[in-house]
Amino acid sequence: MTEQVFWFFAAVAVASAVLMVFMRNPIASAFWLIGTMLSLAAIYFILQAQFIGVIQVLVYAGAVMVLFLFVIMLLNLGRESPDLRRLPGLLGAVLLIGVLASQVGPLAGYSRERLALEYTRSTSLANPDVVFDSTLGAAQATRERGVPGDIAKPLFEQYLVPFELTSMLLLSAIVGAVVLAKRRI
């Protein structure tokens, strides 16, 4: 059952992404991207990353994409003229994309067992349960502190410094965005 749901949302995500790339109206592209993101949120839920799924909807789909839409509407961009790229450039781009696909494609063949194999660099079968930590997966941790609590522990203990640094980052981003977008400084 889980798998079918997963594949459904995966298909939606991919379809939305393709449509986003080929839409000529930027607003339409933005909407299809939102579609992709929502599908991805669903996938996150299936993958037992509920907190991230919620954050995805709230921050990405809710804030970032809204910002995009604001800017598109502010610039009042209409439909684009048709031509994509000239043929030689097009062929070159397609070629490169093909190469990239061939490089990244093999990722599909991975499983926990194989990963364990590569992780320990051993030649014979390895037991993934032994290789990877017993606190594997979000499922087990959720029983103790609930979903947000799971994330909070490493976030505020191990990764405290990066956390504080991101607040600095956000501050500088705000200042930067305001300065750049001003008409007169």
Partner 1 sequence: MLLGPSLLVSAILFVIGVAGVLLRRNAIVIYMCVELMLNAVNLSFVALSQVHGLSGQVFVFFVMTVAAAEAAVGLAIILAIFRHHKSVDLRNINLLRG
Partner 2 sequence: MHLPLDVLALALPSQAEVTAAAPEGLKLSVALIIGLPLLGFLLNGALSLWRPAAKTAVSLIGSGVLLAAFAVAVLRFRDLSVLWGASPETAPVVSLWSWLPVGDLKVDFAFQVDQLSMVMLLVVTGVGSLIHLFSVGYMRDDDGYARYFSYLNLFVAFMLVLVLGSSFPMMFIGWEGVGLCSYLLIGFWFTEKANADAGKKAFIVNRIGDFGFLIAMFLIWGAFGSLNFHEVFPRAAEVLPAGGPLVTAITLFLFLGCTGKSAQIPLYTWLPDAMAGPTPVSALIHAATMVTAGVYLVARANLLFALAPVSQTVVAGVGALTALFAATIGLRQYDIKKVLAYSTVSQLGYMFLGVGTGAITAGIFHLVTHAFFKALLFLGSGSVIYAMHHAYHATHSHEDAQDMRNMGGLFRYMPVTAVLMILATLAIAGIPPFAGFFSKDEILAFAFGRGEHQPIFRLFWAMGATAALLTAFYMARLIAMTFFGPNRTGEEEQKHLHEAPLTMTGPLLLLGILSVAGGWLNLPEFAQSLGKPELLHHWLEPVLTAGVRASESLGTLASLPQGRTEETLIGVAVALAVIGLVFGFVVTLRAPTVRAHDAPAEVGFWKVLYHKYYVDELYDWAIVQPLVAFSRVVLWQSVDQGTIDGAGVNGAARFSAALGWLGSRLQSGQLTTYVTLFLVGVLYVLGMVSWR
72-131 positions binding partner 2, by CB under 8 A = 85, 89, 92-93, 96, 99-100, 103-104, 106
Contact partner at residue 99 from partner 2, partner 1, none, CB < 5 to 8 Å by partner kind? partner 2
Tell me if 141 sits within 8 A of 150, measured CB to CB: yes
> Which of the 8 DSSP states describes residue 24?
S
Does the footprint of partner 1 cover residue 178 (CB under 8 A)? yes
The residues in 20-59 that bind partner 2, with binding defined as CB under 8 A, are none
Is residue 17 at the binding interface for partner 1, with CB under 8 A as the rule? yes
User: Using the rule CB under 8 A, is 74 a contact of partner 1?
Assistant: yes
> What does the alpha-carbon distance between residue 84 and residue 22 come to, in Å, rounded to a whole number?
9
CA distances (Å), origin 15, targets 12, 32, 62, 105, 151: 5, 9, 21, 18, 31
Alpha helices by DSSP H, listed for 80-136, are 87-104, 112-120, 128-131
Interaction partner, residue 7 (partner 1, partner 2, none; CB < 5-8 Å by kind): partner 1
Distance of closest approach, residue 94 Cβ to partner 1, in angstroms: 8
101 binds partner 1 (CB under 8 A): yes
